Structure 1
């Protein structure tokens, strides 16, 4: 029988595939290691392939789309209702295969490498800003324990912390 639709559950090292024919009957139930993915799909006719939009999904979607397959990415919360049994990789792949064939399914647009690079840059910057804010709040809290109150805002930390230490050092040496 001819396979028409494949659902792939991505993981770190072992991927689960579930493929159905035009009647919706399972034809492929297979596990592949990361290094076997391209080798498996390279000589196959064009399939509709669905995956959950996760960490490496855009990479694999671009790779498989380059081999001629039609790729559809879905948000995990839209796939979850299609899981029929206990959650495992095989059940997830089957649910992905079922969800991708639904006519009213909402799909995630496939990102190119440049889009992913910009998003990664923003994510790293956001992480640095969050860490800087946490550090500033910690400094304000510690100085508050010594009676040195610094208003909220990163600018106040920069301008007043040096002054607060100088003031505190001068005040403590005068009292001795």
Structure 2
């Protein structure tokens, strides 16, 4: 899928897809999204940031980040972050709100 999805429509759009594997780069909200996507039947893999960083272009934006993730995922020996529970994430992140920005 190569189209822009607004943050407020993300869950609705993902819910309409057939169950698939979704791969994301880790950030503060990645694990919250992971739990919500998995609750809707999808499999979510969070790639390690060191695997994505070499492929990020100069201007940092969502499209360039998505391209870097896709490029990193084509490599044969990619590594993923283990699943993080809500309790584990609360130790590192004080607030987990995927519906709105902080």
TM-score above 0.5, yes or no: yes
Correspondences of 1:27-46 after superposition (within 5 Å): 28-46=1-19
Q: Which has the higher strand share?
A: 1
Quote the RMSD (CA, aligned, Å).
2.0
TM-score (normalizing by structure 1): 0.47
Q: Corresponding residue for 1:56?
A: 29
Please say if residues 28 and 93 of structure 2, whose CA atoms lie closer than 8 Å, have aligned partners that are also in contact: no
Q: Please state whether the residue corresponding to 1:72 is helix, strand or coil.
A: strand
Q: Is the 8 A contact 1:72 1:100 kept in 2?
A: no
CA distances 1:76-100 after superposition (whole Å, capped 9, x unpaired): 22102233x4433212101212323
TM-score, normalised to structure 2's length? 0.75
Does the Cα contact within 8 Å between 2:25 and 2:46 map onto a contact in 1?
yes
Question: 1:55, CA displacement in angstroms?
Answer: 0.7
Structure with bigger helix share is 1
Rg larger in structure: 1
Gaps of 5+ in 2: 95-102
